[in-house]
Amino acid sequence: MAIDTREIYVTALKNTHALELQALQIMERQVERLKNYPEMEDALRRHIAETHGQRDRLEEALQGLAESPSAIKEGFLGFVGNMMALGHTPAQDEILKNAYANHAFENFEIAAYTSLLAIGEAAGQGNLTGLQQSLKEEEAMAQVVRDLVVPTTRRYVELTVAGEKADR
């Protein structure tokens, strides 16, 4: 049986909602462990606040379609989960793994929102302004995270060479 565009859109909204919940978990876990990396900590705190808004937009979109954000497609978060698990292994270079994983995660979200918007258009959804705003926020955060790769790495090297704890 054919699946209509509305149903595809609803599934995409639910998947993106699950992705944002995952994002919050990942960032909240990291942000408490970044004493030596204040720029990363600030960026994550700002993006956690933004992500609450992104989650709310997705919930509103689902409510507008008389749907609720349950029933996540099995396995959708598997790839992301594996990628993010990189940073959870206690290791001296945990901070570097988190820097790479955050970069990957934000770009994953950019693809997810870009796709969601295309699906929304195909489904004839008139008002996609909120989701477009979320995409812009992900793009901005991806850039911040990218720009932090080198300073974070330099700080990691400095601390490590000085014999200090550099993992977080």
| Nearer residue to Fe ion within complex by CB, 67 or 109 | 109
| Nearer residue to Fe ion within complex by CB, 94 or 109 | 109
| Nearer residue to Fe ion within complex by CB, 85 or 122 | 85
Are the C-beta atoms of residues 22 and 81 closer than 8 Å to each other? Answer: yes
Which two structure tokens, joined as six digits, stand for 74? 């099995």
Q: CB 137 → Fe ion: shortest distance, Å? A: 7
Q: CB 160 → Fe ion: shortest distance, Å? A: 29
Q: CB 142 → Fe ion: shortest distance, Å? A: 8
Q: Cα–Cα distances in Å, from 120 out to 9, 14, 45, 123, 151? A: 6, 13, 29, 5, 38
Q: CB 69 → Fe ion: shortest distance, Å? A: 17
Who's near 14: CB < 8 A, 6+ residues apart?
A: 62, 67, 69, 70, 71, 72, 73
Q: CB 165 → Fe ion: shortest distance, Å? A: 28
- From the list 24, 116, 109, 13, the residue with the least C-alpha distance to 61 is 13
| Nearer residue to Fe ion within complex by CB, 83 or 123 | 83
- The binding site for Fe ion (CB under 5 A) comprises 109, 138, 141
- From the list 92, 99, 103, the residue with the least C-alpha distance to 157 is 92
| Nearer residue to Fe ion within complex by CB, 111 or 122 | 111
DSSP string, 13-30: HHHHHHHHHHHHHHHHHH
